[in-house]
Structure 1
Amino acid sequence: MPSSRLPKIAAAALLAVSATFAFAQDSMRIGFVSTERILRDAAPAKAAQQKLEQEFSRREKELQEMAARLKSMGERLERDAAVMSESDRQRRQREYADVEKDFQRKQREFREDLNQRRNEELSQVIEKANRVIKQIAEQEKYDIILQEAVFASPRVDITEKVLRALASGGK
Protein backbone atom coordinates (compact mmCIF):
# COMPACT_ATOMS: atom_id res chain seq x y z
CA MET A 1 0.00 0.00 0.00
CA PRO A 2 1.52 3.37 -0.96
CA SER A 3 2.40 5.56 2.01
CA SER A 4 0.39 8.54 0.63
CA ARG A 5 -2.87 6.58 1.02
CA LEU A 6 -2.28 5.75 4.69
CA PRO A 7 -3.07 9.26 6.01
CA LYS A 8 -6.22 9.39 3.84
CA ILE A 9 -7.44 6.04 5.21
CA ALA A 10 -6.70 7.15 8.78
CA ALA A 11 -8.56 10.42 8.20
CA ALA A 12 -11.54 8.55 6.74
CA ALA A 13 -11.62 6.16 9.71
CA LEU A 14 -11.41 9.08 12.14
CA LEU A 15 -14.25 10.84 10.34
CA ALA A 16 -16.39 7.67 10.48
CA VAL A 17 -15.75 7.26 14.25
CA SER A 18 -16.52 10.94 14.85
CA ALA A 19 -19.76 10.74 12.88
CA THR A 20 -20.82 7.61 14.78
CA PHE A 21 -20.05 9.28 18.13
CA ALA A 22 -21.93 12.44 17.12
CA PHE A 23 -24.96 10.36 16.11
CA ALA A 24 -24.84 8.37 19.36
CA GLN A 25 -24.46 11.57 21.34
CA ASP A 26 -27.60 13.03 19.78
CA SER A 27 -29.65 9.96 20.60
CA MET A 28 -28.13 9.28 24.06
CA ARG A 29 -29.07 11.11 27.24
CA ILE A 30 -25.99 11.59 29.41
CA GLY A 31 -25.82 12.98 32.94
CA PHE A 32 -23.06 13.75 35.39
CA VAL A 33 -23.02 13.81 39.21
CA SER A 34 -20.19 15.30 41.27
CA THR A 35 -19.49 12.78 44.02
CA GLU A 36 -17.32 15.36 45.77
CA ARG A 37 -20.26 17.79 46.03
CA ILE A 38 -22.59 15.02 47.19
CA LEU A 39 -20.19 14.03 49.98
CA ARG A 40 -19.69 17.67 50.96
CA ASP A 41 -23.13 19.26 50.49
CA ALA A 42 -25.81 16.55 50.73
CA ALA A 43 -28.06 16.62 53.80
CA PRO A 44 -27.20 13.00 54.74
CA ALA A 45 -23.47 13.82 54.45
CA LYS A 46 -23.83 16.84 56.74
CA ALA A 47 -25.85 14.76 59.22
CA ALA A 48 -23.16 12.07 59.16
CA GLN A 49 -20.47 14.68 59.82
CA GLN A 50 -22.40 16.05 62.82
CA LYS A 51 -22.92 12.52 64.12
CA LEU A 52 -19.18 11.84 63.91
CA GLU A 53 -18.32 15.12 65.62
CA GLN A 54 -20.65 14.29 68.51
CA GLU A 55 -19.38 10.72 68.72
CA PHE A 56 -15.69 11.67 68.78
CA SER A 57 -15.68 15.09 70.49
CA ARG A 58 -15.03 13.71 73.99
CA ARG A 59 -12.02 11.67 72.85
CA GLU A 60 -10.69 14.60 70.82
CA LYS A 61 -10.94 16.86 73.88
CA GLU A 62 -9.11 14.26 76.00
CA LEU A 63 -6.33 14.12 73.40
CA GLN A 64 -6.03 17.92 73.37
CA GLU A 65 -5.79 17.95 77.17
CA MET A 66 -3.19 15.19 77.09
CA ALA A 67 -1.17 17.10 74.47
CA ALA A 68 -1.24 20.21 76.67
CA ARG A 69 -0.12 18.16 79.69
CA LEU A 70 2.69 16.62 77.62
CA LYS A 71 3.83 20.04 76.44
CA SER A 72 3.78 21.36 80.00
CA MET A 73 5.78 18.33 81.23
CA GLY A 74 8.35 18.86 78.47
CA GLU A 75 8.73 22.55 79.25
CA ARG A 76 9.06 21.86 82.99
CA LEU A 77 11.63 19.13 82.35
CA GLU A 78 13.64 21.42 80.09
CA ARG A 79 13.47 24.31 82.54
CA ASP A 80 14.35 22.29 85.66
CA ALA A 81 16.85 19.82 84.15
CA ALA A 82 19.89 21.91 85.12
CA VAL A 83 18.99 22.05 88.83
CA MET A 84 17.74 18.44 89.24
CA SER A 85 19.71 15.50 90.46
CA GLU A 86 20.63 12.97 87.79
CA SER A 87 18.17 10.38 89.17
CA ASP A 88 15.27 12.90 89.29
CA ARG A 89 16.02 14.03 85.75
CA GLN A 90 16.08 10.44 84.45
CA ARG A 91 12.88 9.59 86.35
CA ARG A 92 11.06 12.61 84.84
CA GLN A 93 12.42 11.84 81.37
CA ARG A 94 11.02 8.29 81.69
CA GLU A 95 7.66 9.68 82.87
CA TYR A 96 7.63 12.08 79.93
CA ALA A 97 8.52 9.27 77.48
CA ASP A 98 5.76 7.06 78.94
CA VAL A 99 3.13 9.81 78.66
CA GLU A 100 4.32 10.62 75.12
CA LYS A 101 4.09 6.95 74.08
CA ASP A 102 0.60 6.69 75.60
CA PHE A 103 -0.43 9.90 73.81
CA GLN A 104 0.82 8.64 70.44
CA ARG A 105 -0.99 5.32 70.92
CA LYS A 106 -4.27 7.04 71.85
CA GLN A 107 -3.88 9.49 68.96
CA ARG A 108 -3.30 6.64 66.48
CA GLU A 109 -6.31 4.69 67.84
CA PHE A 110 -8.45 7.83 67.62
CA ARG A 111 -7.50 8.40 63.97
CA GLU A 112 -8.11 4.74 63.08
CA ASP A 113 -11.50 4.67 64.82
CA LEU A 114 -12.53 7.99 63.27
CA ASN A 115 -11.49 6.89 59.78
CA GLN A 116 -13.36 3.60 60.13
CA ARG A 117 -16.54 5.33 61.32
CA ARG A 118 -16.23 8.04 58.64
CA ASN A 119 -15.94 5.35 55.96
CA GLU A 120 -19.01 3.58 57.35
CA GLU A 121 -21.06 6.79 57.39
CA LEU A 122 -19.90 7.91 53.93
CA SER A 123 -20.67 4.52 52.42
CA GLN A 124 -24.26 4.93 53.66
CA VAL A 125 -24.41 8.40 52.07
CA ILE A 126 -23.07 7.00 48.80
CA GLU A 127 -25.62 4.17 48.85
CA LYS A 128 -28.47 6.69 49.34
CA ALA A 129 -27.08 8.93 46.60
CA ASN A 130 -26.75 6.00 44.19
CA ARG A 131 -30.39 5.01 44.81
CA VAL A 132 -31.49 8.61 44.12
CA ILE A 133 -29.30 8.80 41.00
CA LYS A 134 -30.79 5.55 39.69
CA GLN A 135 -34.30 6.81 40.41
CA ILE A 136 -33.63 10.08 38.54
CA ALA A 137 -32.05 8.16 35.65
CA GLU A 138 -35.10 5.92 35.33
CA GLN A 139 -37.65 8.73 35.68
CA GLU A 140 -35.90 11.08 33.26
CA LYS A 141 -34.75 8.37 30.82
CA TYR A 142 -30.99 8.84 31.08
CA ASP A 143 -28.88 6.32 29.19
CA ILE A 144 -25.82 6.85 31.35
CA ILE A 145 -24.86 8.91 34.39
CA LEU A 146 -21.18 9.40 35.13
CA GLN A 147 -19.75 10.14 38.54
CA GLU A 148 -16.14 10.79 37.58
CA ALA A 149 -15.05 12.98 34.70
CA VAL A 150 -12.18 15.28 33.82
CA PHE A 151 -14.75 17.74 32.51
CA ALA A 152 -18.54 17.84 32.48
CA SER A 153 -20.64 20.54 30.89
CA PRO A 154 -23.10 22.23 33.25
CA ARG A 155 -25.94 21.20 30.93
CA VAL A 156 -25.37 17.49 31.76
CA ASP A 157 -24.62 18.05 35.48
CA ILE A 158 -27.54 16.75 37.55
CA THR A 159 -25.79 17.07 40.93
CA GLU A 160 -28.21 19.76 42.09
CA LYS A 161 -31.20 17.48 41.36
CA VAL A 162 -29.58 14.72 43.40
CA LEU A 163 -28.83 17.11 46.29
CA ARG A 164 -32.46 18.32 46.31
CA ALA A 165 -33.77 14.75 46.24
CA LEU A 166 -31.48 13.76 49.12
CA ALA A 167 -32.55 16.83 51.12
CA SER A 168 -36.20 15.90 50.69
CA GLY A 169 -35.51 12.41 52.01
CA GLY A 170 -35.14 10.63 48.65
CA LYS A 171 -34.03 7.03 48.90
Structure 2
Amino acid sequence: LKEKEAAFSKDALTMKDSDRDAKDKALSQLRVDVQRKERELREDINIRRNEELGGLQEQINKAVTSVAKAENFDLVLYNGVAYASEKIDITDKILKSLGKK
Protein backbone atom coordinates (compact mmCIF):
# COMPACT_ATOMS: atom_id res chain seq x y z
CA LEU A 1 0.00 0.00 0.00
CA LYS A 2 2.76 2.45 0.95
CA GLU A 3 4.66 1.67 -2.23
CA LYS A 4 1.53 2.22 -4.31
CA GLU A 5 0.78 5.48 -2.50
CA ALA A 6 4.34 6.69 -3.04
CA ALA A 7 4.20 5.79 -6.74
CA PHE A 8 0.85 7.54 -7.07
CA SER A 9 2.16 10.69 -5.37
CA LYS A 10 5.16 10.70 -7.68
CA ASP A 11 3.15 10.18 -10.87
CA ALA A 12 -0.05 12.07 -9.99
CA LEU A 13 1.07 15.40 -11.43
CA THR A 14 1.78 13.90 -14.85
CA MET A 15 -1.37 11.78 -15.11
CA LYS A 16 -4.57 12.62 -16.87
CA ASP A 17 -7.34 13.68 -14.51
CA SER A 18 -9.39 10.58 -15.28
CA ASP A 19 -6.40 8.26 -14.66
CA ARG A 20 -5.48 10.10 -11.47
CA ASP A 21 -9.06 9.90 -10.19
CA ALA A 22 -9.25 6.19 -11.00
CA LYS A 23 -5.93 5.46 -9.27
CA ASP A 24 -6.93 7.59 -6.29
CA LYS A 25 -10.21 5.71 -5.99
CA ALA A 26 -8.39 2.36 -6.25
CA LEU A 27 -5.93 3.43 -3.54
CA SER A 28 -8.79 4.54 -1.31
CA GLN A 29 -10.45 1.16 -1.71
CA LEU A 30 -7.15 -0.58 -1.00
CA ARG A 31 -6.77 1.49 2.20
CA VAL A 32 -10.25 0.46 3.29
CA ASP A 33 -9.47 -3.19 2.54
CA VAL A 34 -6.19 -3.05 4.46
CA GLN A 35 -7.86 -1.38 7.46
CA ARG A 36 -10.63 -3.99 7.45
CA LYS A 37 -8.09 -6.81 7.30
CA GLU A 38 -6.10 -5.26 10.16
CA ARG A 39 -9.27 -4.97 12.24
CA GLU A 40 -10.20 -8.60 11.50
CA LEU A 41 -6.71 -9.77 12.46
CA ARG A 42 -6.80 -7.77 15.70
CA GLU A 43 -10.18 -9.28 16.54
CA ASP A 44 -8.86 -12.78 15.81
CA ILE A 45 -5.82 -12.14 17.99
CA ASN A 46 -8.02 -10.85 20.82
CA ILE A 47 -10.32 -13.86 20.59
CA ARG A 48 -7.37 -16.26 20.64
CA ARG A 49 -5.70 -14.40 23.52
CA ASN A 50 -8.93 -14.48 25.53
CA GLU A 51 -9.31 -18.22 24.87
CA GLU A 52 -5.74 -18.88 26.03
CA LEU A 53 -6.07 -16.64 29.07
CA GLY A 54 -9.35 -18.32 29.96
CA GLY A 55 -7.70 -21.73 29.80
CA LEU A 56 -4.77 -20.53 31.87
CA GLN A 57 -7.11 -18.97 34.43
CA GLU A 58 -8.97 -22.26 34.68
CA GLN A 59 -5.71 -24.13 35.32
CA ILE A 60 -4.72 -21.60 37.96
CA ASN A 61 -8.11 -21.88 39.66
CA LYS A 62 -7.82 -25.67 39.75
CA ALA A 63 -4.30 -25.45 41.18
CA VAL A 64 -5.40 -22.94 43.83
CA THR A 65 -8.37 -25.11 44.77
CA SER A 66 -6.17 -28.19 44.96
CA VAL A 67 -3.56 -26.54 47.17
CA ALA A 68 -6.22 -24.87 49.33
CA LYS A 69 -7.98 -28.19 49.94
CA ALA A 70 -4.70 -30.01 50.61
CA GLU A 71 -3.63 -27.33 53.10
CA ASN A 72 -7.12 -26.99 54.64
CA PHE A 73 -7.39 -23.29 53.83
CA ASP A 74 -10.76 -21.63 54.24
CA LEU A 75 -9.89 -18.57 52.15
CA VAL A 76 -7.42 -17.78 49.37
CA LEU A 77 -7.07 -14.20 48.12
CA TYR A 78 -5.82 -13.36 44.64
CA ASN A 79 -5.55 -9.56 44.66
CA GLY A 80 -6.10 -6.62 46.90
CA VAL A 81 -3.91 -7.63 49.83
CA ALA A 82 -1.85 -4.79 51.28
CA TYR A 83 0.43 -7.16 53.21
CA ALA A 84 0.75 -10.89 53.68
CA SER A 85 3.30 -12.83 55.64
CA GLU A 86 5.48 -15.22 53.67
CA LYS A 87 4.17 -17.97 55.96
CA ILE A 88 0.74 -17.71 54.37
CA ASP A 89 1.83 -16.95 50.79
CA ILE A 90 1.05 -20.06 48.71
CA THR A 91 2.25 -18.66 45.38
CA ASP A 92 5.20 -21.07 45.18
CA LYS A 93 2.94 -24.03 45.94
CA ILE A 94 0.55 -22.96 43.18
CA LEU A 95 3.43 -22.55 40.71
CA LYS A 96 4.76 -26.00 41.64
CA SER A 97 1.29 -27.45 41.19
CA LEU A 98 0.99 -25.82 37.77
CA GLY A 99 4.45 -27.09 36.83
CA LYS A 100 3.38 -30.70 37.40
CA LYS A 101 0.74 -30.43 34.67
TM-score above 0.5, yes or no: yes
How far apart are the structure 2 equivalents of 1:163 and 1:139? 15
The sequence identity of aligned pairs, in percent, is 37
Please state if 1:133 is matched with 2:47.
Answer: no
Cα distance in structure 1, aligned partners of 2:85 and 2:9? 60
Deviation at 1:122, TM superposition (A): 1.1
User: What residue ranges of structure 1 are gaps of 5+ in the alignment?
Assistant: 1-69
Deviation at 1:166, TM superposition (A): 0.9
Aligned equivalent of 1:147: 78
Change (3 A) 1:137 1:106: same
Return the alpha-carbon distance in structure 2 between the equivalents of residues 85 and 152 of structure 1.
Answer: 73
CA offset at residue 150 of structure 1? 5.0
1:96 is aligned to 27
- If you compute each CA radius of gyration, which structure gives the higher value, 1 or 2? 1
Which structure has more RCO (C-alpha within 8 Å, separation ≥ 6)?
A: 1
Say how many residue pairs are matched: 100
Two-structure CA RMSD over aligned residues (Å):
1.5
1:159 and 2:81 matched: no
Counterpart in 2 of 1:20? none
The amino acid across from 1:159 in the alignment is T
Asked whether 1:86 is paired with 2:17, we answer yes
CA separation of 1:96 and 1:150: change in aligned 2, threshold 3 A: farther
TM-score by length of 1: 0.54
